[in-house]
Amino acid sequence: MDLKTEVSELKGIGPKKARAFRDAGIVTLSDLMEFFPRRYEDRRTVTPISSARAGAECLVVAKVAAKRSPRGYYRKNSPLTLIVSDGTGSLEIVFFNGRFLSGLFDEKSEYAFFGKVSENHAMRQMIHPQFAKAGSADDVRGIVPIYPQIPGISQREIRRLQAELVPLYSELEEWIPEKTVREQRLASPEYAIKNTHFPEDGHRMLAGKFRLVFGELFTMETGLMYLRAGDETGGKGVSFSCEAGDRFAAGLPFELTKGQQAAWKSIREDLESDKRMNRLLQGDVGSGKTVIAEMAMLSAASCGLQSVMMAPTELLATQHFDSFTKDLSGWKKPDGRPVSIALLKSSLTAKEKRTVYGSLESGETDILLCTHAVLEEKVKFRDLGLVITDEQHRFGVRQRRILSEKGENVNILVMTATPIPRTLAVIVYGDLDVSQIREMPAGRKPVKTTLARSEDRDKVYDFVEGQLIKGRQAYIVAPLIEESEKIDASSAEEIFRLVSKRFPSYRVEMVHGAMRPQEKDAIMQRFASGETDILVSTVVIEVGINVPNASVMVIENTERFGLAQLHQLRGRVGRGTDESYCFLILDQESEVAVKRAEIMCRTTDGFEIAEEDLALRGPGELFGTRQHGLPQLMISDLSRHRDILEKAAASAKELLADDPGLKKPENLPLKERIRSMFGENISLDL
């Protein structure tokens, strides 16, 4: 047995449990070891009932003095109330809908109860405490780790398995360079892991946790900084006049919004000064980022410099090419020649590609719209001054870097519609400047959003019917139950059957992740052309889909979606000038789910939503971190560990200043660690 052994080889782990672990991302014993507790319960001391104060979380050990549940016939939802006493006083234990638990408690037997004490009409209570027969295997004492839920696996089992791993702790090796370990006074990996799963006291637990969080963030920061090397701000950049961009804006059939004007002002200042621009432009889809990019690219062309904009799909690149060609026809450079625009994508023939390559190298092409096809080594520019990445979260850090290295000291603009909180932006993009476009062009109405419960579903569907009668279309989004595509599909199928039955005279189609791409495209196409009235889908509705006639979106099992995901889904409606609607159906209420839904109802501002998301979520779960090229974090919580993050970033910077290529022997374990952390997410040429 070693760290690479699979969990399925442990005693008591059959195929079903192994699958549950795999779904939670745990395959090897090393993964299991890095499956960290979510929180701890302090069950070291037994509190006498007489001193159990309301508001405190405590462990009491007491005998059942009386059991109460409504008499008579069996009622499924009736509560169970116990009066327990330990000689110093008595306490009421309440389980709502808990009648079925009644048989687990014998009067006169002793039980351990752990929970928060509350007060009700001068009677102290514990509502839904954890319990175990005193002295039984479930009656654990000490600082008890509570792990994230894995369906079908109990806390007790996870604790048992963690105990089996203890002999492997001595295999853990240090990967953080000695200097950093010393400076930050880091505990060893062995100490840290041990005191995370089996903390002896609060002090050791914190020292261990600091080490783990620091280690994770330091590894991430070193990886990201390594990848970003060379695109820091501050250096000298190519500068050029943006007067042509101003003239272009003046000729537009609309006024720039305030956000667009502010973004342009900053970009213009960057480009006209000899500072190298390194800027992130954020704004929801449709907020008008492309126009700003166009103004900058036209300015470069007018000053005899080349510029390039890379988009994630051929469709987007082609759309950009078509609209630029139309918008810029008739624009002449100072030498009297027209601005020349080219398109480069993988599907061009070899001959077409050669023509584009030639025109870029000779400097004949001023503006290039392209996909990642531009990253090929053969593509060379004569005089590149500006590099733009559209929807940049779809690209890796390395791809952005290859593009910017096509020129010397080129100005860099990255654009994204995926909101990212400022604190995260700094981590992912380094010291770049941020511009945000927070409002939509005039005339677009924010989507009216309503929170609904499952009991309201009929009313929601009646409303949907009202929209269909007006000739509009609807999206109904089914939940993603598990990562597994199959299960995902079956839950969508259930909703699909329900909806088909409810709307017999309308055309309903379903699309889900397990379908082949051609099949998906055909269904999307039918919805886009209006052949289909209702589209039931899982979250596969692509960012690119644009159906202005769709005016209502119903999201089922809203509690299963993260905020940023809800925001992106809702962005599918509200594309036209008419009012549109979004219903968030909550099937299971939890505090967080209700909070998220309320935030969605309150605002349509993606940045506000992203900030709230960061505040609501815990480690590793942050939606969008992966989209922005961040690795999955096992223990760190970017919203809570900002101070440790700063320390980790400073140490990483120092290390890379000393060894930019991570080539020194003492840094090899760190390099290996970075490689496994980023995995296939980002290809590292370390």
Which residues of the chain form contacts with ligand ADP (CB under 6 A)?
254-257, 260, 283, 285-291, 417, 441
Instruction: Collapse the DSSP code of 114 into the 3-class scheme (helix H, G, I; strand E, B; otherwise coil) and give the result.
Output: strand
Q: Which of 515, 660, 652 is nearest to 180 (CA)?
A: 652
The span from the CA of 629 to the CA of 683, in Å, is: 11
Q: Which does 257 bind (CB under 5 to 8 A by kind): Mg ion, ligand ADP, none?
A: ligand ADP
User: Mask: binding to Mg ion, 231-270, rule CB under 5 A, as x and -?
Assistant: ----------------------------------------
Q: Is 67 in contact with 61 (CB distance < 8 Å)?
A: no
Smallest gap from Cβ 256 to ligand ADP, in A, equals 5
The span from the CA of 219 to the CA of 630, in Å, is: 12
Give the nearer residue to ligand ADP in terms of CB position, either 98 or 288.
Answer: 288
Smallest gap from Cβ 374 to Mg ion, in A, equals 18
Smallest gap from Cβ 384 to ligand ADP, in A, equals 22
Q: Which does 286 bind (CB under 5 to 8 A by kind): Mg ion, ligand ADP, none?
A: ligand ADP
Smallest gap from Cβ 331 to ligand ADP, in A, equals 17
Q: Which does 260 bind (CB under 5 to 8 A by kind): Mg ion, ligand ADP, none?
A: ligand ADP
Give the nearer residue to ligand ADP in terms of CB position, either 286 or 618.
Answer: 286
The span from the CA of 395 to the CA of 612, in Å, is: 25
Q: Give the H/E segment covering residue 551.
A: strand 550-555
Instruction: Collapse the DSSP code of 166 into the 3-class scheme (helix H, G, I; strand E, B; otherwise coil) and give the result.
Output: helix
Smallest gap from Cβ 575 to ligand ADP, in A, equals 10
Give the nearer residue to Mg ion in terms of CB position, either 290 or 389.
Answer: 290
Q: How many C-alpha atoms does 200 have within 13 Å on its Cβ side?
A: 5
> Where in 276-315 is the site for Mg ion (CB under 5 A)?
290
Q: Which residues pair with 188 in a beta bridge?
A: none
Residue nearest to ligand ADP (CB): 288
Q: Which does 339 bind (CB under 5 to 8 A by kind): ligand ADP, Mg ion, none?
A: none
Q: Which does 291 bind (CB under 5 to 8 A by kind): Mg ion, ligand ADP, none?
A: ligand ADP
Q: Is 609 in contact with 563 (CB distance < 8 Å)?
A: yes
Give the nearer residue to ligand ADP in terms of CB position, either 417 or 600.
Answer: 417
Q: How many C-alpha atoms does 180 have within 13 Å on its Cβ side?
A: 26
Instruction: Collapse the DSSP code of 626 into the 3-class scheme (helix H, G, I; strand E, B; otherwise coil) and give the result.
Output: coil
Give the nearer residue to ligand ADP in terms of CB position, either 136 or 261.
Answer: 261
Q: Is 57 in contact with 129 (CB distance < 8 Å)?
A: no
Which ranges constitute the DSSP H helices of 198-313? 202-228, 243-250, 258-272, 289-302
Give the nearer residue to Mg ion in terms of CB position, either 123 or 315.
Answer: 315
Give the nearer residue to ligand ADP in terms of CB position, either 291 or 375.
Answer: 291
Q: Which does 473 bind (CB under 5 to 8 A by kind): Mg ion, ligand ADP, none?
A: none
Give the nearer residue to ligand ADP in terms of CB position, either 283 or 430.
Answer: 283
Smallest gap from Cβ 397 to Mg ion, in A, equals 21
Smallest gap from Cβ 231 to Mg ion, in A, equals 22
The span from the CA of 642 to the CA of 652, in Å, is: 15
Smallest gap from Cβ 253 to ligand ADP, in A, equals 8
Q: Which does 363 bind (CB under 5 to 8 A by kind): ligand ADP, Mg ion, none?
A: none
Region of 386 on the Ramachandran plot (φ > 0 left; ψ -120 to 50 alpha; else beta):
beta
Give the nearer residue to ligand ADP in terms of CB position, either 25 or 286.
Answer: 286
The span from the CA of 61 to the CA of 302, in Å, is: 81
The span from the CA of 605 to the CA of 101, in Å, is: 46
Give the strand pairing for 367-370 and 341-344.
parallel
Give the nearer residue to ligand ADP in terms of CB position, either 287 or 365.
Answer: 287
Give the nearer residue to ligand ADP in terms of CB position, either 417 or 573.
Answer: 417
- Residue 214 DSSP class: H
Smallest gap from Cβ 257 to ligand ADP, in A, equals 5
Q: Is 447 in contact with 550 (CB distance < 8 Å)?
A: no
Smallest gap from Cβ 350 to Mg ion, in A, equals 29
Contacts of 126 (CB under 8 A, 6+ apart): 60, 91, 92, 93, 94, 113, 115, 116, 117, 118
Give the nearer residue to ligand ADP in terms of CB position, either 396 or 606.
Answer: 606
Q: Which does 276 bind (CB under 5 to 8 A by kind): Mg ion, ligand ADP, none?
A: none
The span from the CA of 436 to the CA of 149, in Å, is: 38
Q: Which does 416 bind (CB under 5 to 8 A by kind): Mg ion, ligand ADP, none?
A: none
Q: Which does 288 bind (CB under 5 to 8 A by kind): Mg ion, ligand ADP, none?
A: ligand ADP
Smallest gap from Cβ 314 to ligand ADP, in A, equals 17
> Where in 107-166 is the site for Mg ion (CB under 5 A)?
none
Chain CA centroid to CA 40, Å: 25
Positive or negative, the CA dihedral 262, 265, 267, 269 is negative
Q: Which does 441 bind (CB under 5 to 8 A by kind): ligand ADP, Mg ion, none?
A: ligand ADP
Give the strand pairing for 110-120 and 57-68.
antiparallel
The span from the CA of 291 to the CA of 264, in Å, is: 10
Smallest gap from Cβ 647 to ligand ADP, in A, equals 36
Binding residues for Mg ion (CB under 5 A) = 290
